[in-house]
Amino acid sequence: MKNPAPEITEKELNELIQSAKDVLQANWSGSFTRPSKNQYPHQWSWDSVFIAFGYTHYDKDRAEQELRHLFEGQWKNGMIPQIIFDQEHQSEKYFPGPDFWQSETSPNAPDHIKTSGICQPPIHATGVRHLIEYAPDRERAVAFASEIFPRLKAWHQYLDRERDPNNEGLVYIRHPWESGQDNSPIWDGILNRIEIEPSYIPAYSRKDINNVEPDERPSKPEYDTYVYLVNFFRERKYDEAKIRNDDCPFLVQDVLFNTLLCKANQDLAEIAEIIGENPEPFKTRADQIADKMNDKLWLDREQMYVDYDLKASKQIQARVLSGFLPIYASIPDQNRKQQIFEYLNTHCFCQMTDSCFPAPSYDRSGDDYSARTYWRGPVWINMNWLLYEGLKQYGFDDYVKQVRNSIIQLPFLSGFREYFDTNSGEGYGIENFSWTAALLLDILYREESTAIQ
């Protein structure tokens, strides 16, 4: 892979590390870290875990507080919501806000905290396991894990009970936002299938295009469907059985969500062993998820895993980066791992001989690929982090090095942006984005040497 970025000197790298810490400090609210001050002024679920990965190495108080504050918004049924709203500051800058979600209509919602009514990928146990492994004070980290363990267990039980009611082995999501990949091409067929009478779309005013160029964000028809789904949930007071049984138009067994749940169960089993709890239920669940993903979500023709549309009873054949990420949880066997790498190492996702930054979020050969539109092609640092962690286990060293370098070089070239152009390295979306800074810090702190190879 012909790296288009210049080499970084040790002095520049040290300055980059300090800049990353400055980003997190600037986004600190006093009790949690915002993804960004303007676009995302509240606390997001999986963002906070990625942010805690970075804090773990140099500010264990912040790492613990980040997760502790998130769990304060946990619902009574165990769900960790996508957003914990900071009602004292900047609530007018984000839509949909707490007044639109009306999560308080659910008897399961927390009593004194406003939240959204959906969740995000379950990477939380992995965040706690990371804290135990890398925090300077292991004894304190284990004590924190003991404190948070019942909440992690309740979160996993919610997913098993409410999102896999038939105990099939895979959980479903009910909104594109729950995947973390909001406007991915994965959802195009489903969203186009949903016919909505205009009167069923509540009046709303978008805030996201006030800070970012509209062509970088989801389209209005996409956003109309997002809002329609939120209204569908709130009309049923976020009762999972009613949502499921009232013909919810979006029910998907998502590759990334289930991959991260599999890994989280593996990590929760390790946490249980460390603190003297029974690890077996989590090991069993992780194996069940992996087996079902291999059975139902693998698409041999595409050499990757794909989502499953429960409403249409068929696989969704979208060629997205998340289709490779089951390697993060060691789900594929050796043969499939090799097939995954052979597809990943093509022009579609930045081949070793290409001049580009790995890895785009969507196949570059796709007719609707876009280098700058949200989840339809740009490089995301969190996805690269997951890819890096997965690939490095299996000896794909040259590609691993390039993914690692892109995590460092993209912020060096373009600042701590939300996402990046795979060809030029240009940054898009919001500036000073927290998980971009935090995951760069995590990579560098975990290395014996911070020299760019």
CA distances from 116 to 85, 111, 190 (A): 8, 13, 22
Which residue in the list 86, 160, 164, 182 is annotated as catalytic? 182
Cα 280 to the center of its chain, rounded Å: 26
Q: Is the confidence at residue 194, as pLDDT, over 80?
A: yes
418 counts as catalytic:
yes
CA distances from 123 to 51, 239, 242, 305, 426 (A): 12, 24, 27, 19, 28
Burial class from Cβ neighbours inside 10 Å (0-12, 13-18, 19+) for residue 362 reads buried
- Report the number of secondary-structure helices (H) and strands (E) in the chain: 16, 9
- Overall average pLDDT of the 238-256 stretch: 97
Six token digits for residue 316? 């969704």
Q: Is the confidence at residue 90, as pLDDT, over 90?
A: no
Q: Which residue has the higher pLDDT, 214 or 191?
A: 191
- Percent of the chain clearing pLDDT 90 (strictly above): 87
The pLDDT assigned to 451 comes to 41
Among 128-142, 299-313, 438-452, whose mean pLDDT is lowest? 438-452
Which residue from 234, 232, 264 is spatially nearest to 251, judged by alpha carbons? 232
The pLDDT assigned to 5 comes to 65
Six token digits for residue 261? 């749940």
**Model confidence, pTM:** 0.96
How does pLDDT run across 381-431, given as a tens digit for each residue? 999 999 999 999 888 899 999 999 999 999 999 999 999 999 999 999 999
Which residue from 127, 225, 214, 136 is spatially nearest to 174, judged by alpha carbons? 225
In 108-219, where does DSSP find H-type helix? 124-134, 138-162, 176-179, 188-193
Which residue in the list 224, 418, 421, 431 is annotated as catalytic? 418
The pLDDT assigned to 198 comes to 85
Decide: 20 and 444 in contact? Cβ < 8 Å. no
The pLDDT assigned to 259 comes to 98
Q: Is the confidence at residue 436, as pLDDT, over 80?
A: yes
The residues facing 252 across adjacent strands are 173, 309
- Percent of the chain clearing pLDDT 70 (strictly above): 96
Q: HEC states along 248-316?
A: CCCCEECHHHHHHHHHHHHHHHHHHHHHCCCCHHHHHHHHHHHHHHHHHCEEHHHCEECEEECCCCEEE
Q: Is the confidence at residue 311, as pLDDT, over 60?
A: yes
Which residue from 183, 182, 158, 188 is spatially nearest to 172, judged by alpha carbons? 158
The pLDDT assigned to 447 comes to 86
Domains of the chain: 10-443 (1.50.10.10)
182 counts as catalytic:
yes
β-bridge pairing 83-84 and 43-44:
antiparallel
The pLDDT assigned to 449 comes to 42
359 upstream amide cis, omega within 30 of 0: yes
DSSP state, 104? G
How does pLDDT run across 98-152, given as a tens digit for each residue? 999 999 999 999 999 999 999 999 999 999 999 999 988 999 999 999 999 999 9
167: alpha, beta or left, given left = phi > 0 and alpha = psi -120 to 50?
A: left
Q: Is the confidence at residue 12, as pLDDT, over 70?
A: yes
Q: Is the confidence at residue 210, as pLDDT, over 90?
A: no
58-60-65 Cα angle (round to 5)? 130
Distance from first CA to last CA of the chain, Å, rounded? 13
